[in-house]
A and B are shown apart, each in its own frame.
Chain A
Amino acid sequence: MIHLLAQEASPGAMSDTGIWISNIFFYVIAAVAVVAALKLVTTANVVHAALYLLVVLSAVAATYVILGAEFAAATQVLVYLGAIMVLLLFGVMLTRARIGADSDLDHEQRWIGGLVAAGLGAVMVYSLWEGFGSDKLPADMQPQRTQMVSDEIFSTYIVPFEALSVLLLAALIGAVVVARRD
């Protein structure tokens, strides 16, 4: 599956060297993401954990770029890195952000958590393997055009899109109501 993803990377009709290079980049980025994800759950400092999460999310954005999905990559950076992570770091630093190891970050239930994570990972690997298996993408695949994305959203998927925006608006108003105790 991983090999397939990397092949998809070739923007346009790419030579074998191109596929080979994008494979290397994919594996480097994937390794960074996995190591950072492991450090994220094992680190003893809450700000370090947030920064490792940042690395994971940037690596995901980099993978999107390799896959030719520029719009998804830019959205990932704008929403996750630029907004959610900044807000998270802001909140953590405003409330509790000691420098050095924090003893109460660890948890009795960490083995159960590990089991759940392993099970979830197994399910995802299995379903992706079953779903795509040895599928190959066409060699002349082009990077995804932003215009194609927007055309799809505002024609085929207009109803789910509008439903989602109403849902988000409701959540926003709900958050304001909960936060304001006048």
Chain B
Amino acid sequence: MLATVAAEFAYWQTSIFKLLMAFVAVLIPAGGTVYLYLFKMVSFLQSRLGPMEAGPYGSLQLVAEVGKWAQKEDVVPSRADAFVFKAAPYVVLISTFLLVIVVPFGPDAVFADFDTGIFLALAVSSISVIGILMAGWASASKYSLLGGLRAAGQLIAYELPMVLAVVGVVIQAGTLNMQGIVEAQTTGEIFGWGALGHPFILTQFVGFFIFLIAVQAELAQTPFDMPVAESELVTGYMTEYSGFRFLLFFIGEFATANIFAFLASVLFLGGWSVPPFIMDAVPGLAPQVDGLAAALGGTTGVAEASFSPWFNLIGPVVMAVKMLALTFIVYWVRFTYPRFREDQLQSFAWKVLIPISLVNIAVTGVLKVVF
């Protein structure tokens, strides 16, 4: 029913809708997690109330903050490289928006269903490093340059375990396509018992933990916040930024945290789908035999079962719940642990995470062949 409605829109109409939805998918979760976790959760962890004045229970604090930033003067240091300085926050934001287009929120609710979905996501996530290096260099400040270089070194080091952690999931799912990974987890069975499907966190828990650690480091969140260590580098590459451009970095940081959480929920927690026993219990959710199967199979080439079109509405909610659970871990760790030293940080990536993830790949490959 929903599928037929969707089919009546022209290509340009769906394109405009997708463009608007990309902004929704980036900005709403970012605002939500900043309020829920950065303002409120950390306050409760530290036995205080957090913002209470703006709006009921401080819920409009973020609007006030954005207004504050938007009206600040846009300062460019006099010796800075003005164009590169101004462009850098947008490069970081472009990386965020390119990341969100591969995330599926439902059987049809996907911005672009790339054949190489997760591979493309890992590729574009590294574009933000370029923005950070640009910001660090163009600011013409020692703090900024050091922060940018530290960020680049750290992001290169932790990108590798992240990619390697995903390889295990890709081996198990047998596809790089995000929809294919969701489907493999929904239709999968654990020793012939299919009620729960087969969320890859059960078999790829090593990969899951490595992925979460690497995400924490990619986002330069504590304990991996050496690039923006305020006690020695002010705020690293962001030191010279003010007003709206600082806000762009801020949005980029928190939106990317959410999108990595979305990616992790697709890879390890079953994505927008729900376990089959819920699907069987709720009328109308049970997989259909044909109709949508042809449509889905035509686009991904891997789809065998077909999902109820209601998942286009349920999917985003399921994804939001999983995303909130995962970002909770990110901020919980962020506000709990002290900072790694630079050398500990590098050796942790190269000497601990990468060997473990390589072993994980080897074991997964052997088990995939055996079973």
Chain A interface residues toward B at CB < 8 A: 45, 47-48, 51, 54, 70-71, 73-75, 77-78, 81-83, 85-87, 89-90, 93-94, 97, 99-100, 143, 145-147
CB distance B80 to A77 under 8 Å? no
Chain A nearest CB, measured from B368 CB (Å): 15
Residues of A within 8 A of B126 (CB): 77-78, 81-83, 86
The distance in angstroms between the C-alpha atoms of A75 and B124, with both chains bound, is 10
**In contact, A93 and B176 (Cβ under 8 angstroms):** no
Residues of B close to A47: CB separation below 8 A: 81, 84, 137
B156 and A86 contacting across the interface, CB-CB below 8 Å: yes
Cα distance, A77 to B149, chains bound together (Å): 20
**B127 contacts chain A at the CB level, 8 A cutoff:** yes
Closest to B156 in A: A86
CB distance from B73 to the nearest CB of A (A): 22
C-alpha spacing A77/B145, complex, angstroms? 24
List B contacts of A45 (CB < 8 A). Answer: 81
Q: Out of A75, A89, A99, which one reaches B130, CB within 8 Å?
A: A89
**Closest Cβ–Cβ distance, residue B194 to chain A (whole Å):** 25
- CB <8 Å contact, A86 and B133: yes
**A146 near B115: Cβ-Cβ < 8 Å:** yes
Inter-chain contact B120/A74, CB cutoff 8 Å: yes
Is there an interface contact between A89 and B127, defined as CB atoms closer than 8 Å? no
User: Residues of B at under 8 Å CB distance from A?
Assistant: 79-81, 84, 114-116, 119-120, 122-127, 129-130, 133-134, 136-138, 140, 145, 148-149, 152-153, 155-156, 159, 176, 301
User: Which residue in A74, A87, A99, A147 is a CB contact (below 8 Å) of B79?
Assistant: A99
CB of A90 within 8 A of CB of B149, answer yes
For A73, give the chain B residue with the smallest CB separation. Answer: B120
Nearest residue, chain B, Cβ from A82: B126
The 6 tightest CB contacts between A and B, nearest first, are A82-B126, A78-B123, A77-B123, A74-B120, A74-B123, A89-B133
Instruction: State how many angstroms separate the Cβ of B19 from the closest Cβ of chain A.
Output: 16
Q: Which of B116, B138, B156 contacts A71 (CB 8 A)?
A: B116
Q: At the interface, is chain B mostly helix, strand, loop or mixed?
A: helix
Could you say which residues of chain B place their CB within 8 Å of the CB of A51?
84, 134
Complex alpha-carbon distance, A86 and B286, angstroms: 47
| Contact across chains for A89 and B115 when beta carbons are under 8 A apart | no
Instruction: Give the Cβ gap from B267 to chain A, nearest Cβ, in Å.
Output: 16
Most buried by B among A70, A75, A85, A99: A99
Contact A82 B149 (CB under 8 A): no
Residue of B nearest to A142 (CB): B301
CB pair A78–B119 under 8 Å, yes or no, is yes
A151 to chain B, nearest CB (A): 13
Cβ B149 vs Cβ A93 within 8 A: yes
Q: Which residues of the other chain, B, contact A90 by a CB distance below 8 angstroms?
A: 133, 149, 152-153, 156
Give CA–CA (A73, B80) in the complex, Å: 33
24 A-B contacts, Cβ less than 8 Å apart? A47-B84, A47-B137, A54-B130, A70-B116, A71-B119, A74-B119, A77-B123, A78-B122, A81-B123, A81-B127, A86-B126, A86-B133, A87-B156, A89-B130, A89-B152, A90-B152, A90-B153, A93-B133, A93-B136, A94-B149, A143-B115, A145-B115, A146-B115, A147-B301
- Determine the distance from Cα of A73 to Cα of B120 in the docked complex, in whole angstroms: 8
Residue of B nearest to A81 (CB): B127
Expressed in whole angstroms, the Cα–Cα distance for A144 and B133 within the complex equals: 34
State the CA gap A85–B130 with chains docked (Å).
Answer: 8
CB distance from A173 to the nearest CB of B (A): 16
Name the residue of chain B whose CB is nearest to the CB of A61: B123
Are B116 and A74 neighbours in the complex by a CB distance under 8 Å? yes
A160 vs B145: C-alpha distance when bound (angstroms)? 42
Q: Which chain A residue has the least Cβ–Cβ distance from B298?
A: A12
A89 to B80, CA, bound (A): 17
Q: Which of chain A's residues has its CB closest to B152's CB?
A: A90
- B204 to chain A: closest CB distance in Å? 21
Complex Cα–Cα for A45 and B81 (A): 11
Q: Are A82 and B123 in contact (CB under 8 A)?
A: yes
Q: Which residues of B contact A146 (CB under 8 A)?
A: 115-116, 119, 176
B119, B133, B134, B145: most-surrounded residue (chain A CB, <10 A) = B133
Which single member of A48, A71, A86, A147 contacts B129 (CB below 8 Å)? A86
- Give the residues in chain B near A100, CB-CB below 8 Å: 81
* Chain A residue with Cβ nearest B118: A74
CB-defined contacts of A143 to chain B, threshold 8 Å: 115
Query: Quick one: closest B residue to A148, CB to CB?
Result: B115
Say whether, besides A89-B152, A93-B133, A99-B79, A82 and B115 are in contact (CB < 8 Å): no
Complex Cα gap A75–B80 (Å): 33
Contacts of A94 in B (CB 8 A): 149
Q: How far is the CB of B149 from chain A (nearest CB, A)?
A: 6
Q: How far is the CB of B165 from chain A (nearest CB, A)?
A: 15
| Residues on A with beta carbons closer than 8 Å to the beta carbon of B119 | 71, 74, 78, 146
Q: In the assembled complex, which residues on chain B have CB atoms less than 8 Å from the CB atom of A75?
A: 123
Name the residue on B nearest A92 (C-beta). B137
A78 to B127, CA, bound (A): 9
Residue pair B148, A93 in contact (C-beta under 8 Å): yes
Tell me whether B156 and A83 are in contact (CB under 8 A). Answer: yes
